[in-house]
Amino acid sequence: MLVEIWSDIVCPWCAIGRKRFVTALERFEHAGAVEVRVRSFELDPSAPLAPEGTAAERLAAKYGTSLEQAHAMHANVTALAAEEGLSFDYDRARPGNTFDAHRLLQLAWDRGVQPAVKDRLMRAYFEEGQPISDPDTLVRLGAEAGLDADEARAVLAGDAYAAEVREDEATARGFGITGVPFFVLDRRLGVSGAQSPDVLESALRQAWDAAALAG
């Protein structure tokens, strides 16, 4: 069974949803027969490489709220992330364009290390305040997670995997996906949002049973 997860590097609910899905998969008795692929989705394709302002300031501007409300929103999601064992630090977070990070993840899929690279990029953004739009940073993070540094550098220096990123995003539009995370199980069942492990486990069982019935 193939599970495809559309998500973005700088999406907090994607990080939380990823942890919850891992928990659900650990409970699923057929986990060994499940292949998981991360698909590309940019929350803000027009984001500059190095936006001005803090994460809270950009959040306030995006939703038209006060800076105090933005800090409260960050505090809420940080608390929820902590329940999943994640340590968000929005005071250090450095927003930026994620297109190159998605290209790196496409390379990581081809090299069989996508889960490790995805986790490393998210940790770099949410916990360590690293600039995930910076090519040198991406090369280093990719190498730490199992990619060949020279190959990663060559990919980011050109336009390799750009078409694959755009294809993922086009597929998302075709499915009507407007927010992430979004889980697609065997192209039979879709689950939107950072659902609980129980909901995700139920979806796994439902998709597995549907595939069995279909033969």
Rounded average pLDDT over 113-142 = 98
**Token duo for residue 205:** 């069982």
CA distance 7 to 13: 9
- In this prediction, residue 53 carries a pLDDT of 86
Residues 109/164, Cβ–Cβ less than 8 Å: no
- In this prediction, residue 142 carries a pLDDT of 98
Which residues, 6+ apart, have CB-to-CB distance to 62 below 8 Å? none
- In this prediction, residue 62 carries a pLDDT of 87
Least confident of 7-21, 47-61, 76-90, 186-200: 47-61
**CATH of 2-214 given 3.40.50.300, 2.120.10.30, 3.50.50.60, 3.40.30.10:** 3.40.30.10
Please state the domain extents for the chain: 2-214
Query: What is the edge-to-edge ordering of all strands in the sheet holding 2-7?
Result: 35-40, 2-7, 182-185, 189-192
- In this prediction, residue 96 carries a pLDDT of 93
- In this prediction, residue 160 carries a pLDDT of 98
Q: What is the pLDDT of residues 45-103, one digit of tens each?
A: 999 988 888 899 989 998 999 999 999 999 999 999 999 999 999 999 999 999 999 99
